[in-house]
């Protein structure tokens, strides 16, 4: 069970690193798109240094690419969130299983301790009975011996 949990956590950390690298790559690509958009924003190819319709269309195309990249980043973040939620729920289930197992072990130990206590009480009870029987036998033998001694002393 511990080996399973260890390999699961190891796989989880490796996959988290891969997801983080992919997310960093997407953010870097977005930054590159943003720089290119800024460059296209500064283009002024019109007469008297004004922006033309073509310049504005190009700028809008860069904005559309940035939006598409943002959507990819959001999808990646949602996927990472879903994976983390799944991992957390699996860990929760694992902890529930472990807790249940430990509770069962505790109950078994309590039953074993109760059984052992009962056996000790039975042993003490039988020991006391034996002690009382021995004491009664000793006293009756002593009484019988004293009675025999007195009867022999009267005869002599």
Q: Is 113 exposed, middle or buried (0-12, 13-18, 19+ CB in 10 A)?
A: exposed
- pLDDT tens digits along 123-145: 888 888 888 899 999 999 999 99
Q: Give the per-residue pLDDT at 5.
A: 45
Rounded to the nearest 10°, the torsion over CA 43, 47, 49, 55 is -20
pLDDT digits (tens, 9 = 90+) for 15-26: 556 677 888 888
Average pLDDT over residues 52-67: 86
pTM score: 0.46
């Amino acid at each position: 069970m511990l080996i399973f949990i260890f390999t699961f956590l190891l796989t989880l950390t490796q996959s988290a690193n891969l997801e983080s690298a992919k997310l960093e790559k997407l953010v870097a690509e977005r930054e590159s798109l943003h720089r290119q958009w800024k460059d296209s924003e500064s283009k002024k190819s019109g007469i008297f240094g004004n922006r033309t319709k073509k310049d504005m269309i190009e700028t809008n195309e860069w904005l559309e690419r940035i939006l598409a990249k943002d959507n990819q980043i959001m999808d990646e973040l949602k996927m990472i969130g879903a994976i983390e939620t799944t991992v957390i729920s699996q860990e929760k289930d694992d902890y529930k299983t472990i807790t249940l197992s430990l509770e069962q072990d505790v109950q078994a130990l309590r039953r074993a301790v109760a059984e052992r206590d009962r056996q000790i009480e039975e042993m003490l009870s039988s020991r006391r009975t034996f002690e009382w029987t021995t004491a009664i036998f000793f006293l009756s033998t002593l009484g019988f011996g004293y009675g025999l001694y007195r009867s022999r002393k009267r005869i002599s």
